[in-house]
Amino acid sequence: MLDDKTEIIAHFIGLFELNSEAARLKIEYQEFLAQLAQNPDLQPLLNVTVNVTSGYGLGDFIPNLSWPLSFVTVPNANFSLVLPFAAGYLPFFGQSFFPADIFNPETWGNPAAYAEPNFVIPPPSSMANITVQANYLEDHDRFGSDEEIDFVDPTAFDEGLQELVDVANTLQVIRSPNLPQNEDAIEESGINIVSTINDLQETGVAPGTDGAEVHAAFDGDVVGVTANGETHEDMPKISDHSHRFAEKEEEAEEDPVQVLTEDDEPLDHEVTTGENVLLNEASITTNWLDAPIISVMGEAVFAKAISQVNVWNDTDLINGEVFGSNGSSTSTFNAAKFNSESNPGATYAEGEDVPDGPKHVAVTTIDGNLINYNHVCQYNFANDNDIASVEFSASDSYIQMGGNTLFNTSSVFGLGFHYDMIIVGGDMFDITYLAQTNIMLDADMVHHQEGFGGALETSNNVLFNWASIYDFGVDATEDMNEDVANASNSVANGGKSIGSGIMGDEVFAGHDVFSVLYITGSWLDVQIVEQINILGDSDQVAFASATMQSAEGANVSVTTGKNELINVAAVTDAGLDSTIYTAEGAYSDAFLYQADFVSEDDPLMLLDTDPLAGEAVLFLADGMLEPDQGSEDPGIAAPLPTETSIDVMQSVLA
């Protein structure tokens, strides 16, 4: 049944279809109408009445039913009894069809007289996820023109940015693994990360670059929160340092409205060539596979590592005066958190009744390797070198040449199974690696006359790395004992003999069936997140001579900085408290690395090109000297925009 509104709509659609069909078949439809006109009386419709009766009906409620029912007559010859067996359901007719021991009192209560039930449990699935996200932006804007000013070609700053990229490559002490081509490559990537951590622990971590601030910690020293190499109680909040993502302040009571006349209303002039935001965000959360008891016939390898690097240059030239990076208002953060929380199984107090343990064993088998692999690669590359020659007029103005936003976001959520025991025929690898890099060149050139009373911001950038590894469920490793070895060999040979020493553990109390997962190959659990932000924001801004002064009462704001490079990554592994027994030993390590490098070099001087230095002096000359028309322009020793090398990104991707 349709409601009234749907009925109206359906009726309208039907009429529309009929009219459309009549218009399409106009001749045939007119012939049909002519036939109807000849026989207007079509007789009434045929009505058919159908009566349905049944001799069966619902009776009244009868409580306390018992067998046999007094009102039911069951002929003995046709009576069928259905009994459940482990192999299925079989009908038996009469006593002669029953197995003899069913009616033999000597076998009653003897479990050996009955077949062991065959329980089926689901196996887990392998999961492999590779996510690559990349943003590329070239945004060299030019606003206004002034023939008296020789601006530097925006591409001249590319080599300065490349120098910072090379430094970042040197500072990242763990090479991020390449995307795997097969299962062997996944295992190899985990081995390489572990090997590098082991080498760093033995040889020590050197800065690698003069002037870099480096902090490295291993094993128990990484527990908790570390920000810029120092221990903290809480992780820093992005909202406390970001311009774009700051928490909204509570609105204060409104001030009395001021009535301004048209003559005294202030003018607003704003120019922004910065305020770019590069953001990478990745989250991996898994509750995939775990068991209170894990038996590894090979070796077990565990490693968790976070590597964070900030490399930047914020050297500004304002009216010919150099303002170095170290004295700038740019702030950088490397914040990492390693945390684990216990998730034990059932425990019972002394004297408390403990339920019986499992009496049956169910085994499911995975042939080959079992894989949980997540590899997230996120890249943001922006080159935003703007040129502006500005003249403020008597009316409000707003000029935005920056304000670009590049962001990548990825979220992985994996669910799986928990078993009572997991047996691994090969090796076990549990590797988590987070690598974060921010690279920024914000070398601005600004010229204004004396007396400029507006707001000028060429710095105040934010470089923020935030990473967290959280384990819910603590693993302890022990050497293989006899009980676990016997159980593992039994399952590997197709048996189900686990032994009371294992099944009698209190953690399995109350279980009806002891579930076992057998992996014939290796168990590979590898989580990798790689995040890179690269920003070139070297702007050149000049104010025309007629508008150098900030008019009295006018709000003039010029911003060439306030960029934000943010990496956020979190990996959460949920499971159970486990005891891992290994036949060939276990290796476990944790590693934290944080590096910050500030460059004070003049990005144009890195080219070691005299013509560029001369042009910079000309641009910053107080008075805007006329170019020498009698000599040939020496040009700019930098590639044309169409010939700009993309090696800035390739060297990081390599």
Query: What's residue 595's pLDDT?
Result: 95
Query: What's residue 80's pLDDT?
Result: 38
- Mean per-residue pLDDT, 19-45: 77
- Per residue, the 3-state secondary structure of 235-272, as one string, reads CCCHHHCCCCCCCCCCCCCCCCCCCCCCCCCCCEEEEE
* Higher per-residue pLDDT: 544 or 532: 532
Q: Are 146 and 387 in contact (CB under 8 A)?
A: no
Give the pLDDT band of residue 502 (cuts 50, 70, 90): very high
* Higher per-residue pLDDT: 379 or 253: 379
pLDDT digit string (tens) for 39-87?
766 667 777 787 877 777 767 766 665 544 444 444 443 333 333 333 3
Question: Tokens in use for 371?
Answer: 């894989």
**Out of 119-133, 289-303, 326-340, 440-454, which region has the weakest mean confidence (pLDDT)?**
440-454
Query: What's residue 115's pLDDT?
Result: 56
> How far is the C-alpha of 269 from the C-alpha of 557, rounded, in Å?
6
**Out of 80-89, 462-471, 535-544, which region has the weakest mean confidence (pLDDT)?**
80-89
Rounded to the nearest integer, the mean pLDDT of the chain is: 79
β-bridge partners, 436: 308, 531
One-letter amino acid for residue 322 of the chain: V
> How far is the C-alpha of 531 from the C-alpha of 529, rounded, in Å?
7
Q: What is the DSSP string of 270-303?
A: EEES---EEEEEEEEEEEEEE-SEEEESS-EEEE
Chain centre to alpha carbon of residue 640: 38
> How far is the C-alpha of 291 from the C-alpha of 575, rounded, in Å?
8
Query: What's residue 422's pLDDT?
Result: 97
Chain centre to alpha carbon of residue 573: 14
Query: What's residue 66's pLDDT?
Result: 52
> How far is the C-alpha of 45 from the C-alpha of 39, rounded, in Å?
15
Query: What's residue 55's pLDDT?
Result: 73
CA atoms within 13 A on the CB side of 604: 26
> How far is the C-alpha of 172 from the C-alpha of 207, rounded, in Å?
10
Give the pLDDT band of residue 265 (cuts 50, 70, 90): low
Residue 283 pLDDT greater than 90, yes or no = yes
* Higher per-residue pLDDT: 147 or 646: 147
* Higher per-residue pLDDT: 608 or 516: 516
Give the pLDDT band of residue 16 (cuts 50, 70, 90): confident
Bond into 84 cis (ω within 30)? no
Residue 185 pLDDT greater than 50, yes or no = yes
Q: What SS3 state is found at 206?
A: coil
* Higher per-residue pLDDT: 189 or 396: 189
Query: What's residue 255's pLDDT?
Result: 53
> How far is the C-alpha of 218 from the C-alpha of 223, rounded, in Å?
9
Give the pLDDT band of residue 267 (cuts 50, 70, 90): low
Question: Tokens in use for 72?
Answer: 């039911």
Q: Which residue from 487, 374, 508 is spatially nearest to 433, judged by alpha carbons?
A: 374
User: What angle do helix axes 4-24 and 26-38 make, rounded to 10 degrees?
Assistant: 100
pLDDT digit string (tens) for 225-245?
999 999 999 999 988 888 888
Query: What's residue 355's pLDDT?
Result: 84
Query: What's residue 13's pLDDT?
Result: 84
- How many C-beta neighbours within 10 Å does residue 456 have? 18
- In angstroms and rounded to an integer, the radius of gyration of the C-alpha atoms of the chain is 39
- Return the biggest CA–CA distance within the chain: 126
Query: What's residue 569's pLDDT?
Result: 97
pLDDT digit string (tens) for 600-652?
887 775 333 333 333 333 333 333 333 334 434 333 333 333 333 434 444 44
Percent of the chain having pLDDT more than 90?
Answer: 43
pLDDT digit string (tens) for 563-589?
999 999 999 999 999 999 999 999 999
DSSP run (H or E) holding 233: none
Query: What's residue 378's pLDDT?
Result: 97
> How far is the C-alpha of 461 from the C-alpha of 402, rounded, in Å?
14
**Out of 174-183, 335-344, 517-526, which region has the weakest mean confidence (pLDDT)?**
174-183
pTM: 0.73
pLDDT digit string (tens) for 86-137?
333 344 334 444 444 444 555 445 554 455 677 888 999 999 999 999 999 9
